[in-house]
Amino acid sequence: MTSSPRSRLFSRGSWPEASRIADVLRQETVGGVLLLVATVAALLAANLGDTYADLRDTVVGPASLHLDLSLGAWAADGLLAIFFFVAGLELKREFVAGDLRDPRRAALPVVAAVGGMAVPALLYVGVNAGTDQLRGWAIPTATDIAFALAVLAVISTHLPGALRTFLLTLAVVDDLLAITIIAIFYTSDLDVVYLLAAVVPLAAFGALVQARRREWYLLVPLAVATWGLVHASGVHATVAGVLLGFTVPVLRRDGADGPGLAEHLEHRLRPLSAAVAVPVFAFFSAGVAIGGWDGLTSALGDRVTLGIVVGLFLGKTIGITAATWLMSRFTRADLDDDLAWIDVVGLAMLAGVGFTVSLLIGELAFGSGSVADEHVKVGVLLGSLVSASAAAVVLRLRNRHYRQVDERETADDDADGIPDVYQSGD
């Protein structure tokens, strides 16, 4: 009697999924570079005078519709809804038609994402125990995939496709958990009437997309109405983006192969999200006036800042690595032959690059413009910098090995462009 072969962690996914994720990663990398540029511009502007703060705090919009918001709030509540709509499309596609529809493949990134969010939160709580700053416990739990991929582009590493796919998938699950946290723990003064009213345009939007209607003049007004009513209800408006994304069908009505409406909309809107929505949010959110050496030491002496740095760097590293190791122990799975545990540690460090959602949760926890919120920004920037630097060292040390793996993966391409490993069904 022969025993069945042991399963492998970080094995290659299906060829269609690997090909699609490669396209997504290229777009996210460009978005990450723009995000980095916007962040540097915000930091410079915030420390060169009062013009930046005056611009960020300029209020526009009708008060009668609860939309008299500052430009910074419009970026966080409005533009980020586009980012979360794309995230909703990605989430639904992954669990309906992607490799995550297979529970065995979904288990690893889901467990790793949970570990990568639970440990940072616990470390933040431990650092801030006994203070009134515990409301920021969720700040270091988020991973910014665009920034993480920008780091990979900067250090020019040949990270194997399986690890890149895992990083993106982990970030997708991370987004789902972050959205849940925002909806449950950072909603105040709930107005049920407005929330119920939002169901009407949301249902109409869902009916149209289920009928495969793509006309922008039909969909956009309903999406805006849903967003406005959710915003007025007290639930953070970005949740509306996710709900709208979840209504879009993934599969084609005729059952044929090819992109469905969700993938079509994701393809159209991802550049807008990565190149406009997220960088503009970063510009209005990342600008912190350091106030010289005294201001920096004040921020570093705040346990909020320390808790975020510890959570992003140590929390993500420990949480993701430990969760992955536990998965291997309980499932009796081995790492792929091309990988070692130091690769998992490096990837876990890279996941400590938290930015977009971390800054958003910081604003929700402490209020935009508060001293604590300014220290949140310092903590997120510093924690992300430490995580990115440590990951760069580890991954660069392994880059020669990664290059050899990459050469083996690409050397066996057939005439149709599909590597033999996928032809064999592995």
Residues 105-140: b if buried by 16+ CB within 10 A, e if exposed = bbebbbbbbbbbbbbbbebbeebbeeeebebbbbbb
What residues are paired with 413 via a beta bridge? Answer: 419
Instruction: Give me the pLDDT at residue 421, please.
Output: 45
Average pLDDT (308-322) is 96
Reported confidence tier of residue 108, pLDDT bands at 50, 70, 90? confident
If one counts the domains in the chain, the total is 1
Q: Where are the alpha helices (DSSP H) in 57-100?
A: 71-73, 80-96
Q: Are 312 and 137 in contact (CB under 8 A)?
A: no
Q: Are 167 and 350 in contact (CB under 8 A)?
A: yes
Distances (CA, A) of 129 to 124, 134, 242, 370: 8, 7, 33, 21
Residue found under tokens 């533009």: 79
- Residue 411 clears pLDDT 90, i.e. is over it: no
Sequence letter at residue 83: F
Is residue 182 in a domain? yes
Is residue 1 in a domain? no
User: What's the pTM?
Assistant: 0.80
Average pLDDT (130-135) is 90
Which tens digit of pLDDT belongs to each residue from 268-284?
888 888 888 888 988 99
Distances (CA, A) of 223 to 34, 65, 220, 290, 298: 26, 16, 5, 38, 43
Higher pLDDT, 1 or 379: 379
Average pLDDT (249-268) is 81
Reported confidence tier of residue 6, pLDDT bands at 50, 70, 90? low
Is residue 107 in a domain? yes
Instruction: Give me the pLDDT at residue 414, please.
Output: 46
Higher pLDDT, 336 or 278: 278
Instruction: Give me the pLDDT at residue 346, please.
Output: 93
Distances (CA, A) of 99 to 214, 245, 337: 26, 19, 21
**Domain interval for residue 165:** 9-186+236-404
Reported confidence tier of residue 2, pLDDT bands at 50, 70, 90? very low
What residues are paired with 69 via a beta bridge? Answer: 60
Q: Which of 144, 169, 159, 27 is nearest to 384 (CA)?
A: 144
Q: In angstroms, rounded to a whole number, what is the distance separating the alpha carbons of residues 172 and 56?
A: 30
Reported confidence tier of residue 99, pLDDT bands at 50, 70, 90? low
What residues are paired with 334 via a beta bridge? Answer: 8
Instruction: Give me the pLDDT at residue 151, please.
Output: 78
Is residue 231 in a domain? no
Is residue 193 in a domain? no
- SS3 label, residue 130: coil
- Residue 149 clears pLDDT 90, i.e. is over it: no
Q: In angstroms, rounded to a whole number, what is the distance separating the alpha carbons of residues 118 and 360?
A: 18
Which tens digit of pLDDT belongs to each residue from 187-211?
777 788 999 999 999 999 999 999 9
- Please give the sequence-ordered ranges of beta strands (E in DSSP) within 278-426, or none if there are none: 334-335
What CATH number is attached to the domain comprising 173?
A: 1.20.1530.10
- Residue 341 clears pLDDT 70, i.e. is over it: yes
Is residue 142 in a domain? yes
Q: Which of 12, 14, 210, 173 is nearest to 95 (CA)?
A: 173
Is residue 270 in a domain? yes
Residues whose CB is less than 8 angstroms from the CB of residue 138 and which lie 6 or more positions away in sequence, other chains included: 121, 178, 181, 185, 186, 361, 365
- Residue 13 clears pLDDT 90, i.e. is over it: no
Q: Are 338 and 158 in contact (CB under 8 A)?
A: no
Is residue 288 in a domain? yes
Instruction: Give me the pLDDT at residue 416, please.
Output: 45
